[in-house]
């Protein structure tokens, strides 16, 4: 029995010490859990407190984006509130190349919706996988863009933008210019007033999902400032009149180009400015640079006989001449001066200074020029703006060219008297006549309604009044513009000009510029216009016959539209009685000379 007693306690002792008790195991588990909890708390503290900014920046970098808030460009109105340039909402489609390529099987459907080739799109994206933003197509119509977005192709998104639209199309193209695909002005007034019209885009922070879609607007970073509207001095109705008449004349005469500028005499505001050929600003890519040129502002021409009123301003200012005397001998119609034949189309004999204007005598103008002080003549030409910019603010405006007076040789001075040897723009020519019309006060031309433009006195008001009277004779029977520039019930004062065009080695014998510049009503001028038709090939090439009728038709319409009262009710040139100083003389207008025999200003410098 002794061996049993000894063996049993030994087995019990071994079982008792075989492992830790339940209490100890509990302590261990609780300890481990406590340590884990402390670790989690420490990690949470590290993430949410110690390194919070770092991880927030990392998260923002993946999902938070700063987006530009597009703004609408300001609307351009004509002087009567009619829209000339408006911005319409469009949609641009952009892509994240990497995301789209991860779903390459969707590219054919995407390409079909975009109207593009699938392989071209795929290659385009593969070349730009290092980017997160590339445009696939700009300025789609909202409906077409939505059909693309409805495909739900990963990585494809839309961006709202604005596109410029010009309701008047080619009629106002040269004045307004156009914008590029990013809605910034490229030419014309769109460029000149780009900062005013464009506004300032805003910015906001947004959260995007993994598909690139905006799921939340976080905050506005910068408030958008929409573009400001601009009201022009242009009258769309008169602009259309000028465009239609000039276009018709160019087609009939088969001319190369033409320009017309109409100014408000009292303010210098540009009421119309038209050039042909022209272009459609809504489809600029199909146009040529020559079509986009605003010839009234950028092209220069020798003014020919339209310069003679400026010569007369110098002559009257000198005290040597009055409208009626002294008489100038133009007998024979030729003056051989320093080996050069200055000639007229007819032998006018003795002419008064007014007669030189009426008949547009080059011989008479050259004689007058040679009697004037060179500095006086030069200063007068410069005072009327020739050789200087008009300061209209229009981009690319030419200053023209006139040599300084001290370098004038006698022959140069003589031919400057009838409009050769200097270059002017159509706007400069119109502005010079507006200065005469407003009593010798020159206004800087402006395209802005109510614009604060400079005004300065150029010549004595009495001299300006006399010049208007002299210019009125050109539209009366026997004048170079009669009856082509007549306007029923209104007196017209103006001047024709026909100039040979310069060519290599001299002047072309059969290439002319036909011009007319004038003002209405002559008794109280309100409107001035200058018309130039370049190289008419069919019919007459004289300024009175080619450009005079354009002036008359356009200004007749403008006078009606602006409700300017007639100043010559007694003398009706169309369908009514005529009046002489002695009273009514009948209802038949004076007989106009045949085109072949019409007085002209043909001159070979």
- For residue 209, what pLDDT is reported? 60
Residue 560 CB coordination number (10 Å)? 11
- φ/ψ (deg, to 5) at 257: -160, 175
Which one, of 177, 263, 461, 473, lies nearest residue 354 by Cα?
A: 473
Which one, of 253, 199, 206, 201, lies nearest residue 227 by Cα?
A: 199
> Using a CB cutoff of 8 Å and minimum separation of 24, what contacts does 248-251 make?
249/533, 249/546, 249/547, 249/549, 249/550, 250/276, 250/533
Measuring CA to CA, how many Å separate 91 from each of 151, 166, 539? 16, 19, 52
Residue 46 CB coordination number (10 Å)? 12
The pTM of the full predicted model, rounded to 2 decimals, is 0.83
**Inter-residue contact 316 to 463 (CB < 8 Å):** yes
**Ramachandran quadrant class, 186 (left: phi over 0; alpha: psi -120 to 50; beta: rest):** alpha
Residues carrying an active site annotation: 305
**Inter-residue contact 262 to 437 (CB < 8 Å):** no
Angle at which helices 107-114 and 118-126 cross, to 10°? 110
- For residue 58, what pLDDT is reported? 60
- φ/ψ (deg, to 5) at 125: -70, -40
- For residue 60, what pLDDT is reported? 57
- For residue 588, what pLDDT is reported? 44
* Residue 172: cis peptide before it, omega within 30 degrees of 0: no
How far is 435 from 455, CA to CA, in rounded Å?
10
How far is 79 from 504, CA to CA, in rounded Å?
44
Q: Does domain 236-281+293-597 have CATH number 3.90.1170.40?
A: no
**Inter-residue contact 305 to 361 (CB < 8 Å):** no
**Segments making up each domain of the chain, as ranges:** 66-231, 236-281+293-597
Name 422's bridge partners.
Answer: 402
- For residue 590, what pLDDT is reported? 43
Strands 83-95 and 350-351: unpaired
Tell me the H-state helices in 203-352.
Answer: 236-253, 289-292, 295-298, 308-318
Measuring CA to CA, how many Å separate 542 from each of 225, 296, 550? 53, 20, 13
Measuring CA to CA, how many Å separate 126 from each of 109, 478, 548, 569? 18, 78, 63, 77
String of DSSP letters for 242-279: HHHHHHHHHHHHT-SEEEEEEEETTT-BEEEEEEES--
- For residue 344, what pLDDT is reported? 94
How far is 405 from 402, CA to CA, in rounded Å?
9
Q: Dihedral (C-alpha) 329, 330, 331, 333: value to the nearest 10 degrees?
A: 170
Strands 202-208 and 350-351: unpaired
Contacts of residue 438, defined as CB under 8 A and 6 or more positions apart, other chains included, come to: 265, 266, 464, 525
How far is 267 from 14, CA to CA, in rounded Å?
121
**Inter-residue contact 98 to 149 (CB < 8 Å):** no
The helix/strand/coil state of 562 is: coil
Written as six digits, the tokens of 353 are 């200074």
The helix/strand/coil state of 380 is: helix
- For residue 216, what pLDDT is reported? 60
- For residue 256, what pLDDT is reported? 96
**Inter-residue contact 116 to 135 (CB < 8 Å):** no
Q: How many CA atoms lie within 13 A of 56 on its CB side?
A: 7
How far is 560 from 504, CA to CA, in rounded Å?
45
Q: Please list the ranges in the chain whose pLDDT falls under 50.
A: 1-7, 11, 13-14, 572-605
Measuring CA to CA, how many Å separate 258 from each of 261, 276, 278, 397? 11, 5, 10, 17
What is the dihedral sign for C-alpha 264, 401, 550, 289? negative
How far is 108 from 105, CA to CA, in rounded Å?
7
pLDDT tens track for 231-243: 999 999 999 999 9
Written as six digits, the tokens of 515 are 């011009």
Domain 66-231 is classified in which CATH homologous superfamily?
Answer: Penicillin-binding protein 2a (Domain 2) (3.90.1310.10)
Is 454 buried (19+), middle (13-18) or exposed (0-12) by CB count in 10 A? exposed
- For residue 40, what pLDDT is reported? 85
How far is 192 from 177, CA to CA, in rounded Å?
9
């Amino acid at each position: 029995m002794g061996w049993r007693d000894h063996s049993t306690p030994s087995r019990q002792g071994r079982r008792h010490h075989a492992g830790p008790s339940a209490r100890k195991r509990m302590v261990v588990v609780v300890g481990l859990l406590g340590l884990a909890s402390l670790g989690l708390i420490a990690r949470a503290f590290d993430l949410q407190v110690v390194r919070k900014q770092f991880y927030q920046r990392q998260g923002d970098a993946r999902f938070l984006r700063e987006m530009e808030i597009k703004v609408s460009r300001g609307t351009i109105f004509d002087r009567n509130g009619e829209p000339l340039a408006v911005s319409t909402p469009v949609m641009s489609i952009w892509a994240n190349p990497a995301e789209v390529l991860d779903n390459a099987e969707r590219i054919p459907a995407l390409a079909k919706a975009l109207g593009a080739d699938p392989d071209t799109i795929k290659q385009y994206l593969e070349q730009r996988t290092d980017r997160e933003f590339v445009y696939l197509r700009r300025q789609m119509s909202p409906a077409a863009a939505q059909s693309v977005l409805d495909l739900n192709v990963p990585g494809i998104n839309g961006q709202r933008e604005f596109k410029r639209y010009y309701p008047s199309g080619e009629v106002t193209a040269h004045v307004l210019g156009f914008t590029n695909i990013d809605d910034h002005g490229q030419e014309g007034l769109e460029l000149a007033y780009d900062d005013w019209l464009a506004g300032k885009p805003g910015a906001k922070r947004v959260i995007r999902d993994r598909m690139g879609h905006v799921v939340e607007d976080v905050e506005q970073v910068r408030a958008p400032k929409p573009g400001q509207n601009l009201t022009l001095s242009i009258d769309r109705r008169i602009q259309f009149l000028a465009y239609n008449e000039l276009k018709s004349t160019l087609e009939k005469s088969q001319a190369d180009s033409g320009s017309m500028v109409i100014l408000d005499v009292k303010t210098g505001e540009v009421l119309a400015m038209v050039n042909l050929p022209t272009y459609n600003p809504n489809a600029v890519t199909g146009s040529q640079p020559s079509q986009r040129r605003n010839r009234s502002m950028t092209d220069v021409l020798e003014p020919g006989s339209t310069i003679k009123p400026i010569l007369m301003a110098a002559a009257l200012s000198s005290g040597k001449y009055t409208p009626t005397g002294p008489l100038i001998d133009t007998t024979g119609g030729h003056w051989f001066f320093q080996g050069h034949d200055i000639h007229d189309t007819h032998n006018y004999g003795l002419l008064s200074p007014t007669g030189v204007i009426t008949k547009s005598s080059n011989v008479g103008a050259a004689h007058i020029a040679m009697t004037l002080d060179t500095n006086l003549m030069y200063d007068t030409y410069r005072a009327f703006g020739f050789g200087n910019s008009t300061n209209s603010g229009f981009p690319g405006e030419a200053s023209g060219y006139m040599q300084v007076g001290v370098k004038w040789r006698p022959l140069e001075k003589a031919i400057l008297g009838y409009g050769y040897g200097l270059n002017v723009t159509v706007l400069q020519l119109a502005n010079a006549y507006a200065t005469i019309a407003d009593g010798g006060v020159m206004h800087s031309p402006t395209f802005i309604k109510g614009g604060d433009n400079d005004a300065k006195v150029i010549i004595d008001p009495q001299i300006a009044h006399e010049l208007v009277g002299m210019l009125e004779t050109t539209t009366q029977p026997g004048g170079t513009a009669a009856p082509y520039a007549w306007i029923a019930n209104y007196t017209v004062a103006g001047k024709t000009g026909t100039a040979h065009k310069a060519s290599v080695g001299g002047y072309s014998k059969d290439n002319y510029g036909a011009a007319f510049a004038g003002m209405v009503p002559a008794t109280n001028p309100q409107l001035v216009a200058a018309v130039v038709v370049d190289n008419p090939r069919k019919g007459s090439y004289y300024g009175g016959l080619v450009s005079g009728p354009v002036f008359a038709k356009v200004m007749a319409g403008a006078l009606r539209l602006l409700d300017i009262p007639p100043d010559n009710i007694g003398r009706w040139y169309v369908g009514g009685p005529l009046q002489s100083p002695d009273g009514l003389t009948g209802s038949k207008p004076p007989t106009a000379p045949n085109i072949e025999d019409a007085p002209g200003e043909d001159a070979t410098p």
